[in-house]
Amino acid sequence: MKIMVAVKRVIDYAVKIRVKPDKSGVETSNVKMSMNPFCEIALEEALRIKESGRASEVIAVSVGPAQCIDTLRTGLAMGADRAIHVEFPGTLYPLSIAKILKALVDVEKPGLVLLGKQAVDDDCNQTGQMIAGLLKWPQGTFASKVVLDDDNKVATVDREVDGGLETLAEINQVEWEKDMWMLKSTVVKMKNRQVQLLALNDQYNASTDLRLNQPRYATLPNIMKAKSKPIKKLTPQDLNVEIKSDLEIVQVTDPPKRKAGVILSSVDELIDKLKNEARV
């Protein structure tokens, strides 16, 4: 089984974001860019599945400007076998990305697609769900644990939901209509049908970042080795995907500044403020 992992190049999570003076977007020139942290976790999971002997190849895929090559080289240094760069210089939105990823799935035929839960630049949290929809594949979003059965036909995914952990058991390739279970049920058993295909979104956010895995650092020898691993270059046109969007960014602004807090001298004062100012 091949595993395809979508890795996005984003502003490094530690960089303080600055809005451009003309409010058309955020400043990206001379800003440190990195692999989206959620995608690092997705890639780490793919590598662990391969190391456990359940996958034959891990392919890292990135869509975006020429500099995505750096993100892909990081992925190759972490351990991906090869990479695909779909070059597009302009702004891309989740549906376009999902269409491109679907086209790549049609060519590469992976058994498993792993994506980050969300990209930390736009926080969309849409691409995984959209690609599963386009492919009509089952998906497990916000996964904190992924277990594949012995012949990769069935997956069990623990997902973190507001009320705790939800287990999607025995996720198989099913007809899409029967697939609406995910929203309704906590434990789901599906009938086994031929080869398992699962689109999966890994769980990662500030409070749960270590629950699926801890991504590895690329070692120096692996960084050197990555230089000779293949990166295929394509364009959306090569994949017959037309990039268009109904979305238009009207203006990007900083969030309003928070007012400074006050230190109260007593509980009585707090109760008074809650009652008379906050009207709790």
User: Which residue ranges make up the site for ligand AMP (CB under 6 A)?
Assistant: 6-8, 36, 38-39, 42, 61-64, 92, 94, 97, 115-116, 118-119, 122, 124-128
Q: How many Cβ atoms are within 10 Å of 95's Cβ, its own excluded?
A: 19
Query: From CA 118, how far away is CA 127, in angstroms rounded?
Result: 8
Q: Which residue is nearest to ligand AMP (CB)?
A: 116
Q: Quick check: 187 and 169 in contact, CB under 8 A?
A: yes
**Helix H or strand E segment including 103:** helix 94-108
Of the two residues 74 and 127, which places its CB atom closer to ligand AMP in the complex? 127
Question: Nearest approach, Cβ of 80 to ligand AMP (angstroms)?
Answer: 13
Question: Nearest approach, Cβ of 94 to ligand AMP (angstroms)?
Answer: 4
The DSSP code sequence of 204-236 is --TTTHHHH--PPPPPHHHHHHHTTS-EEEE-T
Of the two residues 97 and 212, which places its CB atom closer to ligand AMP in the complex? 97
Question: Nearest approach, Cβ of 63 to ligand AMP (angstroms)?
Answer: 4
Of the two residues 1 and 104, which places its CB atom closer to ligand AMP in the complex? 104
Question: Nearest approach, Cβ of 151 to ligand AMP (angstroms)?
Answer: 26
Question: Nearest approach, Cβ of 71 to ligand AMP (angstroms)?
Answer: 8
Of the two residues 28 and 126, which places its CB atom closer to ligand AMP in the complex? 126
Encoding tokens for residue 157? 């995914």
What's the sign of the alpha-carbon dihedral 144, 150, 152, 155?
A: negative
Of the two residues 92 and 174, which places its CB atom closer to ligand AMP in the complex? 92
Question: Nearest approach, Cβ of 198 to ligand AMP (angstroms)?
Answer: 15
Query: From CA 50, how far away is CA 4, in angstroms rounded?
Result: 12
Encoding tokens for residue 97? 């990305």
What is the gyration radius of the CA atoms in the chain, in angstroms? Answer: 21
Of the two residues 81 and 87, which places its CB atom closer to ligand AMP in the complex? 87
Query: From CA 57, how far away is CA 46, in angstroms rounded?
Result: 9
